[in-house]
Structure 1
Amino acid sequence: MALHVSRLFGEDAARFDRDRAGLVPHLHALYDVAVELALRGQGTAPRVLDLGAGTGLFSGELATHLPDVSIDLLDASAEMLEVAARSLDLYAVKHTLVERDLCAPLPEGPYDIVVSSLAIHHLPVPEQAGLYRRVRDVLRPGGVFVHAEQVAAAVPELDALYEEFWLREVREAQTPQETVDKARRRMAYDRPVSVATHLDWLAQAGFRSADCFYKRFRFAVLAAWR
């Protein structure tokens, strides 16, 4: 993630989770599917890497199901990681904070589970494809990569329909206009691609199987196994 994008997120770290609930319609459904897939990782005390971990929302959800989990949280925003640490410390979750850009080398594996939530689409498109290859390299054989993501439509002319649906749902959620405006400023840096493109990249990266397990307009959950 480019450093200037991480600064935009860092500015709102303290209220990020509250804002996210108003900006991602059906957020709980998205995470429910993502966590269920991540639990398919090996072992009762798995080693997990959370990419673009932000405030640790995905990591925290996993920890409620895997009390012996050990999690490395990687994010370019120190402010986000501070929020994550406070939450995980409260529940005595074993974790390590890694302040690092997603384009930088990943921590040394092997990991049983790699997860990411609404982060990778901030990278330039070639870097997104390259990250998938690096994720596979740090996974154990049989390990799972779960990616909850903002995606583009299958064809560009349908992106306007995605935008229409998104605006309708954030208004129904009574999301403050200021929150929507801030999100739009961040979204100017987004580089989402279609589900089909993600699946092609995962196959090219050498994952043995991959699929999209949830999709509602511009939000999707993909999982792939090494």
Structure 2
Amino acid sequence: MTVAEAFDAVAGTYDEARRRLVPCFDAFYGTAVEVAAPPLRAALAAGRTPEVLDLGAGTGLLSLLVAAAVPGVRLTLVDAAPAMLAVARDHLRDRDVPHRTVVADLADPLPAGRYDAVVSALAIHHLDDVGKRALYRRAADALVPGGVFVNAEQVAGPTPALDRRYDEVWTARITELGSDADEIAAARERMRHDRPAPVADQCRWLTDAGLADVDCFFKEWRFAVFGGRRP
């Protein structure tokens, strides 16, 4: 089963488990929105519609949060799983948010255009490290000057011992929040496709891609939010 097929299979129930499977949900997604928001508000102040590209957008969860925080944005959502994007379209139409969806893999060329923010949540870790670096370069090139890239991501520990500890903490936390054995098993099955990388490596790759002010803005065990700005 491919990554897209694995996520299409759970498209109808994916969102309801997010707050259990991402124990730091509010801070994690909230930080990503805070990082993305300033250039979007600047575009509005200049009389221009802010353009947002959401990579691996899934059911549109991050896009919806960005649109709620900065009304008036226009969204482009990219994902390889059409059933996930169908859920996103329904949510965005219900809220009258201007958008387009593109069925594409993250290794494919990005949709044409220049963006005030390129965002992603829990998707880029499906690429290998070479693929991540290539995507970061394409994302940086797609930004307008002053635009930001932000990745709310599942990351690897910098050592095998820490990576095991990340998993122990995650398992304990999601169990406390009500994930049962079936939900945990299904999550682990999807995680077979994961290729996470440490935060420090990925921040270095963003700098190599030409971004400035690169930082990790939030981190709680395996969940991190990091990004940078196009000069």
CA distances 1:62-112 after superposition (whole Å, capped 9, x unpaired): 111222110000000000000000000001000001000000000112100
Q: Which amino acid aligns with 1:31?
A: Y
What TM-score do the two structures reach when normalised by structure 1? 0.97
Q: Which residue of 1 aligns with 2:65?
A: 61
Paired with 1:135 and 1:85, the residues of 2 have a C-alpha distance of: 23
**Secondary structure of 1:40's aligned partner:** helix
Q: Which amino acid aligns with 2:128?
A: P
Q: Which residue of 1 aligns with 2:119?
A: 115
Paired with 1:68 and 1:106, the residues of 2 have a C-alpha distance of: 22
Structure 2 unaligned segments of length 5 or more: list them: none
The offset of 1:209, in angstroms, is 2.1
Q: Which residue of 1 aligns with 2:95?
A: 91
**Secondary structure of 1:39's aligned partner:** helix
Q: Which runs of 4+ in 1 moved over 4 A?
A: none
Paired with 1:186 and 1:200, the residues of 2 have a C-alpha distance of: 27
Aligned 1:133-212 pairs, distance under 5 A = 133-212=137-216
Paired with 1:188 and 1:168, the residues of 2 have a C-alpha distance of: 19
Aligned residues: 224
Paired with 1:156 and 1:130, the residues of 2 have a C-alpha distance of: 25
Q: Which amino acid aligns with 2:27?
A: A
Q: Which residue of 2 aligns with 1:39?
A: 37
Q: Matched residues, percent identical?
A: 46
215, 223, 230: which is aligned to 1:219?
223
CA distances 1:116-154 after superposition (whole Å, capped 9, x unpaired): 000000112210111000001110011000110000112
**Secondary structure of 1:136's aligned partner:** helix
The offset of 1:176, in angstroms, is 2.0
Q: Which residue of 2 aligns with 1:127?
A: 131
**Secondary structure of 1:13's aligned partner:** coil
Q: In the alignment, does 2:28 pair up with 1:30?
A: yes
Q: Which residue of 1 aligns with 2:8?
A: 10
Q: Which amino acid aligns with 1:24?
A: V
Q: In the alignment, does 2:39 pair up with 1:50?
A: no
